[in-house]
Structure formats: structure tokens, C-alpha cells
Amino acid sequence: MPQEVSDIKQFIEICRRKDASSARIKRNRKTQQIKFKVRCHRFLYTLVLKDSDKADKLKQSLPPKFTINDVPKRNKKGKRVA
């Protein structure tokens, strides 16, 4: 089940929990939106940012135990572009 988090400090606390396993970062070039998604045991927590500077700082502050995936954009046929 997905849940959206609006506070950055609360999102960092969720990332530091024991059951948080991995993070995905999805960038939308059109709307200048950056989504951080953290997989925990029960929920998938999502934080949406519009400021790229804050997003870079947040990416650096994620715990080192995480496997961080940058989700690439798709081309016209729906295939992922490297």
C-alpha cells in the first residue's frame, strides 16, 4: 500500500527505520518533479519535491545501507532508456 509523506524530516525518519530496504528516485523533466519512494515492510512511502537542490541534499542524506535506484525515463515505445 502506498502512502504519501509531505514532511522531509518525517521521510528521513522513515528511511532510518529497520524495515526500510530500498529507495527509488524518479525524475519528471516536464513538471520538474522528483519523487522519492522508500520500500518498507508494509507500506511504500513517497515524497514529492519540486526543488532539485533539496532533492540532491536528501539523496545524500539517505542511509548508506540502502540500494538506491534512479528510475530512467522511457522512450516512445515504452522501453526504458539507459
pLDDT at res. 24 = 95
Number of neighbouring beta carbons within 10 Å of residue 20: 19
Query: What whole-number distance in Å separates Cα of residue 66 and Cα of residue 5?
Result: 19
For each successive 10 residues of the chain (82 residues), what is the average pLDDT? 93 94 92 94 96 92 87 74 63
The full set of domain ranges for the chain reads 2-71
The CATH class that applies to domain 2-71 reads: alpha beta
Eight-class DSSP state of 40: -
CB-based contacts of 48, cutoff 8 Å, min separation 6 = 4, 33, 34, 35, 36
Q: Ramachandran region of residue 47, left (φ > 0), alpha (ψ -120 to 50) or beta?
A: beta
Strands 22-28 and 67-71: parallel
